[in-house]
């Protein structure tokens, strides 16, 4: 599992560690890791070596600038030609600047340095950043963007809010982000995540910390039981610390959660999912949701609704009926809503599914109807896109636009989960799945090619099947998003447009890659 910690937690952990270590130790650890990554990038790219390479440090007024200046000093000692732009000269990190000058680096105010640099180190602002980037930084950020330099963000790209991933103004587009101690939520959630490039965690020893964090949660080395430092798989899981607010499933986590039949299994024991979707007007949603559910690890799929004929024609494996959920026979979970329309019959289907006493996934039209209730059963899974999230928020008295929801996905997903008292999967460029409490999951797979009509119906059929197979709403939602995203990537090969049916067709291969070692997450 990849984990990210909020700023308040990071500061508490760092504070504890700083108190025990000689002054400046943490910053030197950070700068050493940063310089090593920069040296590697210079050797791998243009110019192919550190010696005589051109490095520009953008140094803000805090410790983030200090990290960048000390790393610049290390590169200068290895023969790089290092220049530093001081964005707030009166408040620059004095020790970092002195080290850079002593190593042969120089201060510059020539913007052309940004355009001709081989590597730019973004030390403008780190976890202390708030609000849009200040004006003094903007010409440097623009110039670095125009040039051919590899841009390395220190801790996180400046301009990205560390806790939410919101980008309230201009921000640095990094090729690589070197982040210290643990991921920050803003590196895993869009829009921030799309500014971070490849994220490389550097261990600064936060795993040595034990005790109480700022929020009262224990700071420990986590469930692995590993003593002391717990760096595992340096490129994916920086530290196994408790108190994280965001996590992202990795392939091995998905493998452990996927349902698998055993010798005792029969089709009923594997779970049966009910799908109440589609209408005379929108039969396609039913066909797509049922098709995906058939690949979701259950023993059978029941369909209840007006598109029964179309469903059975497309999927002879499905058990179909034209009545509502109440008349459909036993299932272990319901999916209600895709293509249902919003008439009286649809309303009845939603009521019956909600009253069935099994976990319910509510999507699309079902969400608009649910918004009128303003509450959901605790084992429900709601799967809105931003527009449906706006309607659900209105149902609990919160006014927001879909642009606001997209800008602060974590916050609004959590607000919905708390307001409705259940699990929410917020779709979009970074899918977020969260309950009212505990860490939120962000999906690491996916591609913008998934934004195609019917794609959401595939996701809800798949997630409903996983619910019926016995996964919790949080696991069902996050595993479904992972498989759906991976299937979308496989179907599109990265840049070929896909139709929703092609996502379903790729689900078996996505499942295969997820349940075997060999890696699937990009
Ligand atoms: N606390 C620690 O022990 C460690 C901190 N480290 C580094 O220190 C950073 C945090 O340092 P600080 O707490 O000094 O904070 P930052 O350096 O992230 O930012 C604070 C400074 O930036 C200015 N600022 C805030 N928002 C801004 C904006 N939107 N545009 C421009 N300037 C803005 C503030 O006026 C303040 O002077 C981390 O991100 C990391 O890089 C590392 O050295 C590791 C150890
Ligand atoms: N920019 C994007 N990047 C990645 N995935 C996206 C993006 N936009 C949408 N998606 C995904 O595509 C799917 C679209 O679902 P939805 O909006 O319900 O479409 P529909 O109702 O047409 O089926 C969701 O899984 C969503 O997370
Ligand atoms: K930065």
476-508 residue pLDDT tens: 999 999 999 999 999 999 789 999 999 999 999
If we measure between CA atoms, which residue out of 119, 147, 123 comes closest to residue 43? 119
Cα 198 to chain center, whole Å? 14
Using 50, 70 and 90 to split pLDDT, how confident is the model at 208? confident
Residues 209 and 279 in one domain: no
423-426/81-86 β-pairing: unpaired
Q: Which atom of ligand 1 is nearest to the CA of 169?
A: 29
Please check the confidence at residue 519 and state whether its pLDDT lies above 90: no
Does the Cβ of 88 fall within 6 Å of ligand 2? no
What share of the chain in percent tops pLDDT 90? 88
Residue 379 class from Cβ within 10 Å (0-12 exposed, 13-18 middle, 19+ buried)?
A: middle
Kindly state whether residue 262 falls inside one of the protein's structural domains. no
Q: Report the distance separating Cα 439 and Cα 437, nearest Å.
A: 7
**Sign of the CA dihedral 481, 482, 483, 485?**
positive
Q: What is the pLDDT of residue 240?
A: 37
Q: What is the arithmetic mean of pLDDT over 144-169? A: 97
Residues 222 and 325 in one domain: no
Kindly state whether residue 521 falls inside one of the protein's structural domains. no
Residues 96 and 208 in one domain: yes
**3-class SS of residue 365:** helix
Does the Cβ of 168 fall within 6 Å of ligand 1? no
Residues 284 and 219 in one domain: no
Residues 334 and 393 in one domain: yes
**pLDDT tens sequence across 99-118:** 999 999 999 999 999 999 99
Q: What is the pLDDT of residue 220?
A: 34
Residues 278 and 225 in one domain: no
Residues 129 and 219 in one domain: yes
**pLDDT tens sequence across 11-49:** 999 998 999 999 999 999 999 999 999 999 999 998 999
pTM of the model: 0.92
The set of residues, in sequence order, having a beta carbon less than 8 Å from that of 98 and lying 6+ positions away, is none
Q: Show binding-site residues.
A: 63-67, 122, 126-132, 155, 158, 285, 339, 385, 427-431, 456-457
Residues 297 and 333 in one domain: yes
Residues 229 and 284 in one domain: no
Q: Which residues, by Cβ under 5 Å, contact ligand 3, an ion? A: 122, 126, 153-154, 158
Please check the confidence at residue 56 and state whether its pLDDT lies above 50: yes
**Vertex 444, ends 191 and 195: CA angle to 5°?**
30
Q: CATH no. for residue 286?
A: 3.40.1190.20
Residue nearest to ligand 2 atom 14, measured at CA:
456
**pLDDT tens sequence across 371-419:** 999 999 999 999 999 999 999 999 999 999 999 999 999 999 999 999 9
Residues 231 and 95 in one domain: yes
**pLDDT tens sequence across 351-368:** 999 999 999 999 999 999
Kindly state whether residue 261 falls inside one of the protein's structural domains. no
Highest mean pLDDT among 213-217, 435-439, 464-468, 515-519: 464-468
Q: Which atom of ligand 2 is nearest to the CA of 427?
A: 27
Residues 301 and 163 in one domain: no
Kindly state whether residue 101 falls inside one of the protein's structural domains. yes
Kindly state whether residue 137 falls inside one of the protein's structural domains. yes
- The CA 389 to ligand 2 mean position distance, Å, reads 13
Does the Cβ of 324 fall within 6 Å of ligand 1? no
Expressed as residue numbers, the domain containing 417 is 267-515
Kindly state whether residue 522 falls inside one of the protein's structural domains. no
Q: Which value, to the nearest 10 degrees, does the dihedral of the CA atoms of residues 229, 232, 234, 235 take? A: -140
Q: Say how many domains are in the chain.
A: 2
Residues 170 and 297 in one domain: no
**pLDDT tens sequence across 232-268:** 333 333 333 456 799 999 999 999 999 998 888 888 8
Q: Report the distance separating Cα 289 and Cα 298, nearest Å.
A: 14
Kindly state whether residue 394 falls inside one of the protein's structural domains. yes
């Amino acid at each position: 599992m990849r984990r990210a910690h909020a700023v308040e937690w990071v500061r508490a952990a760092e504070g504890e560690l700083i108190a025990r270590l000689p002054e400046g130790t943490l910053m030197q650890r950070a700068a050493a890791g940063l310089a090593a990554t920069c040296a590697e990038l210079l050797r791998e790219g243009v110019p192919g070596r550190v010696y005589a390479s051109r490095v520009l440090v953008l140094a803000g007024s805090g410790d983030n600038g200090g990290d960048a200046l000390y790393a610049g000093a290390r590169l200068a000692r290895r023969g790089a030609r290092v220049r530093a732009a001081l964005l707030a000269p009166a408040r620059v990190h004095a020790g970092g600047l002195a080290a850079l000058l002593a190593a042969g680096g120089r201060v510059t105010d020539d913007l052309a340095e940004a355009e001709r640099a081989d590597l730019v180190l973004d030390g403008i602002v780190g976890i202390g950043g708030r609000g849009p980037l200040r004006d003094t930084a903007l010409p440097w950020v623009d110039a670095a963007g125009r040039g051919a330099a590899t841009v390395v963000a220190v801790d996180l790209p400046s301009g990205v809010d560390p806790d939410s991933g919101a980008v309230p103004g201009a921000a640095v587009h990094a090729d690589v982000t070197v982040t210290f101690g643990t991921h920050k939520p803003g590196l895993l959630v869009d829009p921030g995540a799309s500014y971070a490039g490849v994220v490389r965690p550097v261990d600064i020893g936060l795993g040595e910390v034990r005790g109480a964090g700022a929020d009262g949660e224990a700071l420990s080395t986590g469930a692995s039981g590993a003593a002391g430092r717990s760096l595992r798989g340096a490129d994916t899981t920086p530290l196994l610390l408790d108190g994280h607010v965001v996590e992202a499933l990795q392939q091995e986590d998905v493998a452990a959660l996927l349902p698998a039949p055993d010798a005792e299994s029969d089709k009923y024991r594997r779970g049966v999912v009910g799908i109440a979707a589609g209408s005379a007007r929108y039969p396609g949603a039913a066909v797509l949701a049922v098709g995906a559910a058939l690949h979701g690890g259950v023993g059978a799929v029941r369909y209840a609704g007006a598109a029964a004929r179309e469903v059975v024609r497309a999927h002879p494996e499905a058990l179909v009926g034209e009545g509502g959920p109440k008349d459909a026979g036993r299932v272990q979970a319901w999916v209600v809503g895709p293509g249902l329309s919003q008439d009286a019959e649809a309303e009845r289907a939603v009521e019956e599914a909600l009253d069935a006493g099994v976990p319910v996934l509510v999507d699309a039209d079902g969400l608009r109807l649910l918004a009128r209730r303003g509450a959901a059963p605790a084992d429900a899974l709601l799967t809105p896109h931003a527009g449906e999230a706006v309607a659900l928020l209105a149902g609990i008295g919160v006014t927001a636009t879909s642009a606001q929801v997209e800008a602060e996905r974590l916050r609004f997903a959590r607000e919905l989960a708390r307001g409705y008292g259940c699990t929410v999967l917020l779709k979009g460029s970074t899918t977020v799945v969260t309950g009212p409490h505990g860490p939120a999951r962000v999906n690491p797979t996916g591609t913008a090619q998934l934004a195609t009509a019917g794609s959401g119906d595939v996701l809800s059929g798949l997630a409903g099947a996983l619910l019926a197979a016995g996964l919790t709403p949080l696991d069902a939602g996050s595993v479904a998003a992972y498989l759906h995203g991976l299937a979308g990537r496989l179907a599109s090969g990265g840049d070929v447009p896909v139709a929703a049916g092609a996502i379903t067709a790729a689900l078996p291969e996505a499942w295969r890659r997820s349940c075997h070692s060999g890696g699937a997450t990009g």
